[in-house]
């Protein structure tokens, strides 16, 4: 038989009549017999997965709630200082006890709440705005918990609003007040539930400062005879003192002492000239001069006078003319290259009964100090007016 290319085709193979068809898309059938039941879903796994999802949702909600809660009690001190700071003033006084320095807050029609300790037996009082404006003030009265109510003369600045309700116990608060150098600052003081210790941020100049909430509204006032005795007078009492017809306020007795003092801290004149070694020497000497004058240490002032000046300006004469004076806000505005003179402007608060007061209580002076060296030390030889004396309120 031939099997080559020209061989005849083979006949088809016979397929049994009852055989089924098989195509390339069909897979062979599974072997017969009973099949295992279809496995259902894992019930515990589904429960556990659902529980995990629920816990994630609850935790997320709790976290968001905690965050919102924290936001609701936190205070933005920068924003609060910007809104409330313009109504917070500096209070200066010359008093029989020499305690006259505090912060204060404008409430309405020029009235000011401050610490009574700063104006106890006051001979003269001024309030100083954040922009440096000075206005005379009268003491209307004081409360048993250390609040004083002043009436400023000529202040019509917007007051600080008393809060409608006090802050919740966990809400943060802040104190706005002044440093001894006269700079306005704000300090977070914690919440009623978790207050900060006063020793962490207080100084005497901040007594009388307002405690504000996160909206910048008045919710308390810090009072006390000393920093160690400082306490916050609550909103409810301030409402009584700030009312148009105040209650709980007793008319204060004015000072009657022959000598009175202002704050006793060291004075450092602001340099408005180049900060050379000579300028710093003059700054230190004139600062010492004003500090000793404020402390009424007139015997020690003599060391800063030339022999010529000491002969005419004796301690007794200093006491007679400056026995109720308090010098503040000094600025050195000019200085000779050889140190022969310095020009300094400054404000002086004094009793209306002082020698030459003429019924006034605060003047702005602008003097030219002639300086000489004695034994290598710079001292004052004399001083003359560089400009006319004006009332502090004129500025």
- Nearest of 213, 223, 218, 209 to residue 173 by alpha carbon: 213
- Nearest of 177, 155, 154 to residue 232 by alpha carbon: 177
Provide the pLDDT for residue 63.
Answer: 52
Q: What is the CA radius of gyration of the chain?
A: 41
- In a 3-state reduction of DSSP, which class is residue 25? coil
pLDDT beneath 50: ranges in the chain: 1-9, 11-16, 19-31, 62, 64-71
- Residue 395 DSSP one-character state: -
Provide the pLDDT for residue 201.
Answer: 92
């Amino acid at each position: 038989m031939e099997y080559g290319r020209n061989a005849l085709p083979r006949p088809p193979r016979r397929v049994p009549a009852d055989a089924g068809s098989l195509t390339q898309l069909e897979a062979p059938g599974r072997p017969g017999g009973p099949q295992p039941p279809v496995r259902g879903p894992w019930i515990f796994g589904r429960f556990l997965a659902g529980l995990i999802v629920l816990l994630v949702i609850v935790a997320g909600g709790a976290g968001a709630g905690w965050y919102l809660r924290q936001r609701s009690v936190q205070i933005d001190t920068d924003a609060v200082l910007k809104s409330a700071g313009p109504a917070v003033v500096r209070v200066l006084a010359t008093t029989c006890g020499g305690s006259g320095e505090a912060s204060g807050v404008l409430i309405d029609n020029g009235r000011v709440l401050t610490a009574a300790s700063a104006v106890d037996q006051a001979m003269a009082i001024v309030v100083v705005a954040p922009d440096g404006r000075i206005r005379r003030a009268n003491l209307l009265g004081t409360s048993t918990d250390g609040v004083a109510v002043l009436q400023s003369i000529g202040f019509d600045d917007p007051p600080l609003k008393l809060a409608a309700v006090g802050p919740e116990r966990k809400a943060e608060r802040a104190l706005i007040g002044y440093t001894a150098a006269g700079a306005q600052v704000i300090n977070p003081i914690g919440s009623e539930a978790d207050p900060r210790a006063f020793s962490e941020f207080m100084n005497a100049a901040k007594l009388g400062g307002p405690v504000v909430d996160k909206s910048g509204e008045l919710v308390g006032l810090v009072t006390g005879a000393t920093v160690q005795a400082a306490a916050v007078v609550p909103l409810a009492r301030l409402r009584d003192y700030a009312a148009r017809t105040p209650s709980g306020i007793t008319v204060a007795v004015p000072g009657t002492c022959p000598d009175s003092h202002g704050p006793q801290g060291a004075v450092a004149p602001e340099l408005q000239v180049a900060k050379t070694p000579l300028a710093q020497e003059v700054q230190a000497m004139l600062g010492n001069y004003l500090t000793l004058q404020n402390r009424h240490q007139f015997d020690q002032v003599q060391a800063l006078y030339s022999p010529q000046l000491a002969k005419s300006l004796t301690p007794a004469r200093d006491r007679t003319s400056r026995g109720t004076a308090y010098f503040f806000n000094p600025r050195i505005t000019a200085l000779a290259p050889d140190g022969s003179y310095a020009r300094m402007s400054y404000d002086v608060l004094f009793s209306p009964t002082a020698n030459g007061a003429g019924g006034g209580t605060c003047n702005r002076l602008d003097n030219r100090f002639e300086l000489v060296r004695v034994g290598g030390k710079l001292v004052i030889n004399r001083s003359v007016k560089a400009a006319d004396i004006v009332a502090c309120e004129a500025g």
